[in-house]
Amino acid sequence: MPTLESVSLQLGNPGGTPVAVVVAMLVAAMTLLGIRELSSVTLAWRRRLLLGLRLATAAVALLLALQPRWISERVEVVQGRLLVLLDVSRSMQVRDDGASRATQASELVARWRKEAAVPFDLYGFGSELRPLKTQALQPHDLARDDESRLRRALDSAVERHPDDLGAIVVVTDGADTTPDFSAAQLAEFGVRVHTVALGSERDLGDDAIVSVKADPVAFLRQSAEVEVVVRLSDADAARVAVSLRRDGQVVAERGLEVGDDGLARAVLPFVPDRLGRSVYSLSIPVDARDRVPENNERAFLVRVTRDRLRVLLVCGAPSWDTRFLRAFLKSDPAIDLITFFILTTHNDIRLAPAEELSLIPFPTDELFREHLESFDVVIFQDFNYGPYQMVQYLPRIRDYVLAGGSFAMIGGSKAFGAGGYVRTPVAEILPVAMEPGERAVMEGAFAPRLAAGLERHPVVELAPDPEQNAAAWQRLAQLVGMNKLTGLTDDALALLHHPEAKLGDGTPMPVLVVGSPGQGRSLALASDSAWRWGMATAGRTGDPSAYEKFWDRALRWLARDPLLEPARVETDRERYGPGAALRARMRLQDARHQPLVNAEVVLRVEQSDGQVVHEAPVTSDAVGAAEVELEAPMQPGGYRLAVIAPDGQSELADEGFVVEAGGDELADPRARPGLLKDIARITGGSASTASSAGALQDLDRSRSRAVASQQHRPFASAVFFLVLVVVFGVEWGLRRAWGLA
């Protein structure tokens, strides 16, 4: 092993080079000032002597301040560890001429392994760096990753082997997807990188959809847009047709003009007409000469929602409670409120025609037959349906909720059993059982109590900490009066209950109850004095916000705000290539919003038509969280992840994702041998191709290792400081003697 000797000069002054420059400038200024004063000395030999002394003083002072030191080092050159980094991204599927790039790569690595002249560690890189076994280098298994991040892979390789790494060999097509990556970024990399370029430098003859940009959220029946960029390989092409489809049906088509750069750009509008997740795709025609037809189609996922929460509020009589709730709903710009106060019935004695008594006729038939599904939440507040000939619409309200709508009933003398709702279709969706009769009400003030174990439920979560939340409810003003309830439905949760009144089985009578009938949600508040949580509480504590917090969270829960759902599942990305690694993270809670600890659930992958593609058992940890890695389906299209509860029936959470044949990785799969040559040149490595790559033992993998070092500091002694004192003292004494000091 050869050994080299090296000597280097360093400065030992505090502050480094900037301070050294300042010190040198000060010493130079003092020297020039002293030389300027010598003009008054008449004798030449005196001038020469004082000049020599001043220069000697400056030199000694400068050396003492800067403390230059010489470091001699003996370095041993050894052969370091060799790493081979193999590109496993999907652009390696491309066939330039003959075999695919992945096939060329696997054959090259197999040859190096067979030679066995130099041991090497093999890694695959795409989005991340991971070890590979040379015994399992099948081309169809290699080109699976949706990204190619070369710089990230190089940095990870150095982090894994910081002490003995000699060189890195990168086998890739250079089609890197790292934003703004260039070889110049590796100027200070410090490790030699040899590159083996795969793929031809000439044009592939590939038409492609380069990029698709669409908002992840669109609003129902409102125009949305998607921006598309297309690249054509034919320089003579002037136009290209682009089709926008949803679930296979053509939504829009447009001919795009191709610019001088071979790119065509356009913004295509579309109008979503149904709620939920929708998979859209953009496509261009596939030419027979197209080498990569997979990138002629790109998919994207749009979550269609309403731009505002539509609430229908039907009130039976004016009261403080109706006034406060209506004021809150009108004050929120995110709520589209339709309110009806019905103050007279067909049986009332009227001295004028109905059209003269009504500001706006109550459009019962239009609302409940034609437009009911357009509302997110329907609220009956102290409302008796009977006198208004609405019995025929109650089945419509029930069906609306069972199909996914939301309904809330607020108490009063015309609500629940007192309003005649017992044994009606509405009773089938309410989470409570009611006592019939007009007298099914209770008088008196009471402070409702928060149900034990439900402090985390979002409807009653006034504060994030359970203890603080319980204290917040205790500070609220009392309610006055409530409707008599006789029980709960099977799926119901009583969040607040009466402190004294009991049901027939001895359990506390519920005051606030939520449920999930069918696919919908319902809420029952058996009192018409919740407004006291605002105004009356403010009189006691100065804080009126509890009322608004309660209704804000209640409406969001009814409308299925994702942030208030008990369980969630999230994917690390929204789009994947066929067979790519898919990571899913879960936070699992039950309907009471308590963590599902060590629970065994099933993670199911379904197609957009509901067909199950894959199932995997998952067990949550001590806080109800879980993380799992799956393989994305091979067939392009829209999919959803569904978390199935331990009972094997109910669904806890779901999330959508898209599998696309092209994607960003294949948007521009052209090989970039020029980039690889620059990387090799800048890092001191060699560049070759798959056909010209030689044996590994021919590659430079040497690294330097310091064996011994010695430091010399000749100016860091007391003797040298004494020299400065003597020289300066002699100069000062002569100047004083000759009249210059």
> How far, in Å, are 48, 51, 72, 281, 730 from residue 39 at the CA level?
11, 11, 45, 89, 19
| Chain position carrying tokens 């804080």 | 543
DSSP-based three-state secondary structure for 141: helix
pLDDT of residue 6: 65
Angle at which helix 320-331 crosses helix 545-558, to 10 degrees, equals 70
Round to whole Å and give the CA distance between 300 and 218. 12
All residue ranges of the chain with pLDDT < 70 are: 1-7, 73-76, 134-136, 140, 235, 342-362, 704-709, 741
pLDDT of residue 133: 80
pLDDT of residue 689: 92
Q: Is 526 exposed, middle or buried (0-12, 13-18, 19+ CB in 10 A)?
A: buried
pLDDT of residue 313: 94
Round to whole Å and give the CA distance between 138 and 124. 13
Q: Three-state SS across 699-713?
A: CCCEEEEEEEEEEEC
Round to whole Å and give the CA distance between 297 and 264. 15
DSSP-based three-state secondary structure for 591: coil
Average pLDDT, the chain: 86
Residues with Cβ within 8 Å of 192's Cβ and at least 6 positions away in sequence, in order, are 166, 167, 168, 683, 684, 685, 700, 701
At residue 596, what is the residue type? L
pLDDT of residue 353: 46
| Chain position carrying tokens 């067939």 | 635
Round to whole Å and give the CA distance between 23 and 237. 68
**Torsion-angle region of 303 (φ positive above 0: left; ψ -120 to 50: alpha; else: beta):** beta
pLDDT of residue 721: 77
pLDDT of residue 349: 42
User: Which residue, 43, 36, 145, is CA-closest to 86?
Assistant: 145
Task: Let me know: does 618 contact 628? Beta carbons within 8 Å.
Answer: yes
Task: Let me know: does 385 contact 351? Beta carbons within 8 Å.
Answer: no
Tokens matching residue 736 = 């004083």
Sorted by where each starts, the structural domains of the chain and their CATH numbers stand as 3-76+709-737 (no CATH), 81-203+669-691 (3.40.50.410), 208-305 (2.60.40.10), 309-557 (3.40.50.880), 565-659 (2.60.40.1930)
Angle at which helix 718-737 crosses helix 44-66, to 10 degrees, equals 150
> pLDDT digit string (tens) for 584-622?
999 999 888 889 999 999 999 998 778 899 999 999 999
Residues with Cβ within 8 Å of 401's Cβ and at least 6 positions away in sequence, in order, are 407, 429, 517, 518, 520, 521, 522
User: Which residue, 229, 199, 201, 230, is CA-closest to 214?
Assistant: 229
